[in-house]
Amino acid sequence: MRAFILGALATGLLAAAPVAASADTIVEDFTIPVAAGTSNGSFVSDPFPGFDPSLGTLTDVIETLAQSLTWIPGFTVNDASPAVLTVSLHSPISVSQTFTASTSEPQRLTLVLNAEASSIGSGSQKAVLSTRENSGFGRLSRTRLEGTMTYVYTPFPSSIVDPPSGGAFPVPPEGGAVPELSTWAMMLVGFASLGYASKRRKPARA
């Protein structure tokens, strides 16, 4: 009988234990203004904050930029080799794309820059777009490139804090586990059984 009561009580307590939080994501936008001019240079976007390590454990970072710009190629020294343009995106990971043109006619380029990394620093960062052409005389059109940085992380489990002064109890965190009615009923039955068993063990009065 005692073993049954203890087992029921333990089952109720285990069922009321909080459940670990699931994975989550944060997506941040960034913008890179590209001024018209030489294709040899770097373009820095407005700073964006980056991942906050107090939110949890970072598991992945995905950087994406998929847009178009216009490139007017230059010429090599002997005008024999085609112009080659390399466009790279850095922060916090690097990814590049290479384009080749045999004439000086304007070229409409489609940038598809996707990169993935397993870890990243938590400080503030900037998205840097660098371009390099082997002729050194090419030009880019004035444009505005926009991309996203996606942080995949596992949130830290929330902890229960003491009730504030005034008698109000804290509201359970969003997504937190709340014991079901059946759990409460099982715990009450266990406590009642313990009380009944202890009452039966009292010796009879003379």
pLDDT of residue 169: 41
What is the spatial distance between Cα 133 and Cα 193, in angstroms, rounded to a whole number? Answer: 83
Lowest mean pLDDT segment, chosen from 4-13, 87-96, 189-198 = 4-13
Share of the chain above pLDDT 70, in %: 66
pLDDT of residue 204: 55
The amino acid sitting at 20 is A
The amino acid sitting at 63 is E
pLDDT of residue 189: 73
Q: Give 19's contacts (C-beta < 8 A, 6+ positions apart).
A: 177
Cβ atoms of 109 and 69 closer than 8 Å: yes
Of residues 15 and 105, which shows the higher confidence score? 105
Q: Indicate whether 90 pLDDT > 70.
A: yes
pLDDT of residue 91: 78
Q: Indicate whether 139 pLDDT > 70.
A: yes
Share of the chain above pLDDT 90, in %: 17
Tokens of 52: 């906050």
Residue 12: its H or E element: helix 2-15
Answering whether pTM is above 0.85, one says no
